[in-house]
Each structure stands twice: as structure tokens, then as C-alpha cells.
Amino acid sequence: MHMRRMGAVLSVAAMATGLAACGGGETYATVADKIAGGGTVVVGTKWDQPSLGLKKGANPEGFDVDVAKAVLKEMNGGKDVPVEWKESKSDNREPFLANGTVDIIFATYSITESRKEKVTFGGPYVIAHQDVMVRKDDTSINTPQDLVGKKICKASGSNSYKRITDPPPDGELDLDATTVDAASYSECIQKLGGNNLDAVTTDDLILAGFAKQAGGNFKVLGQGFTDEKYGIGLKKGDTKTCEAVNKAVQAIWQNGTMKQLVDKWFGGIEGLKVSQEAPPAEGCA
């Protein structure tokens, strides 16, 4: 009798726990479902890239941060979505999506064929171009081809250096340059300022933000030589959210929101050319 009563108590306790889990609304099949259910969306951004994603105070700010807010709001019928911001560096973006540390990533995340094997990409929402930044007084580097024999930065998790040092299809220019390791692009900029590097090469939007922050100590060559399609990273297979994201991106281009954000963060930067219309979506396969 005692054992039967114990079993009944345990059974009721298990049921209560199950109802609490289901009623708490903590588990969603897709990010789109989470938004529809009023859940807090964990958004990965960079925290060390001026004008794109830079941690100031409690939260990051920048172009990618504002694009994330605008896309999520559009997906939610014009209502703001509660967000938790999570720093997502170049080398942890794929693991963070795979293990659920973040729900979605807006972090200068170029769409590439190799990354598509691990990530479902929405977008692109803008197209950047790889360029080169040097110290303002350096007259020896005027084109990307002048990087032969020079020291360039190799930021952890980024493929940008390969565009300089490797041949196609993975690379671009196939130049004999020396790479210097760094944990992030902010460290690359420190090394450039300390004369430990000759150049930093990555997307022009990233370089423009750092150049603006440095107040004239560096110059961007203004000779972009690739198309970098900035995508919105999702866990592999989340095509429902991807399709919703693509509709939202088109909408914020059409209603003028994207142009306002481009002008806000990159307006007036010499030599920088940002696309003025929505790039075609890559598809959600």
C-alpha cells in the first residue's frame, strides 16, 4: 500500500514537471516559431568591430546590430522582439549555431560554399568587398598586389587572408605574403598600429569602421576585389526561419530602413561604396 502511494506521488510529480516544461514555452522547433511564441531570441554579433558590432555598455551597437533588430521586428509583424546579445567571434559562429548557444547570427558572416555545409544562411542583406588597410604614412602599398613580401594579418576563424595568399577557388590573388596570427580583427588593428604588420585585409565595411574609430591613423585603399555576401546564420536545416528572414530583408530594403542604416553607420567614409539595392537571396537549401 505504501509503495503504491509512493508510485502515485512520483507519477503526479513527473506529470507536473512535464506540464511545467511544456507550459513554459522554452522549446521551439525553429527561430521563427520562437519569435511567434514571444520567446527571447539569442542573437550573435561581433563585439569588437566599430560601426558593425561594438560592445558599449550593456549591449553592442552598430550596423549588424541594427539590421538584426530591424529583421526580427519585420518578422514579428512590426513589433519589437526581445533579444539577448551574445558575442560571436569568427571562430565560434558555426559551433554556437550547432550547439544552440545562439539562435541566429548577424556578424559580418560572409556566405561561402564551405560554410553552407554547416550553416543555413538567410540573405545576403548587404554585399561588402575585400579591401586593404595600411598606416596612413605608408606609401609602399597602393594596391592589393603590392602585398607581395609584406606582413598581413590572419585573424582566427576568418578566411580573408586566403584571398591574398591562395589561388582560386579558395583564394584570389595568390601572392607571396607573410601571415601574422591574431585572435581577432581588433588585435590585427593593434598590431598594425604597433608596426607588427604592414596591412590588414578584410571586408571594406570592417576596415571602414576601424579607420573611422582610429581618427585618421589608417587609410583604406578603396580597391575592393571580391564580393562578400553578408548572410544571416541559422542552425543547419532551419529553412522555415531562413525563408522568413529573406522576406524581412527584402521588406526593409523596400521601405528604406536599410538605406537609413547604411547612411547612419557608413555615410561620408571616403572611398567606400555600399550597394544601394537589395542583393538577391541565395536560397535556403
Beta bridge partners of 151: 178
**Residue 240: count of CB within 10 angstroms of its CB:** 16
As given in the structure block, the three cell numbers for residue 131 are 579591401
* Cα separation values, 184 from 48, 158, 170, 202, Å: 8, 9, 21, 12
Q: Look at the pTM and tell me if it is higher than 0.85.
A: no
Is 77 inside a domain boundary? yes
The per-residue pLDDT string of the chain (285 residues; one tens digit each, 9 = 90 and over) reads 444 444 433 333 332 322 122 234 578 999 999 999 999 999 999 999 999 999 989 999 999 999 999 999 999 999 999 999 999 998 899 999 999 999 999 999 999 999 999 999 999 999 999 999 999 999 999 999 999 999 999 999 888 999 999 998 878 999 999 999 999 999 999 999 999 999 999 999 999 999 888 888 999 999 999 999 999 999 999 999 999 999 999 999 999 999 999 999 988 776 687 888 899 999 897
Neighbouring-strand partners of residue 43: 85, 104
Whether 279 is in a domain gets the answer: no
**pLDDT value at position 13?**
35
Q: Is residue 273 part of a domain?
A: no
Residue 139 sits in a domain whose CATH number is 3.40.190.10
Query: 236 and 210, same structural domain?
Result: no
Give me the residues paired with residue 167 across strands.
Answer: none
Note whether 122 and 37 are same-domain residues.
Answer: yes
Residue 117 is part of which domain span?
Answer: 31-127+228-266
Q: Could you tell me which of 66, 72, 73 has the C-alpha nearest to residue 103?
A: 72
Residue 284 located in a structural domain: no
pLDDT the model gives residue 269? 78
- Could you tell me if 123 and 232 lie in one domain? yes
Whether 101 maps to a domain, the answer reads: yes
Taking alpha carbons only, the member of 125, 145, 155 closest to residue 232 is: 125
Q: Is 280 helix (H, G, I), strand (E, B) or coil?
A: coil
How many domains would you assign to the chain? 2
Q: Quick check: is 272 in a domain?
A: no
Are 202 and 119 contacting, i.e. CB atoms less than 8 angstroms apart? no
Give the sign of the dihedral formed by CA 181, CA 192, CA 141, CA 168.
Answer: positive
Residues 177 and 209 both lie in one domain: yes
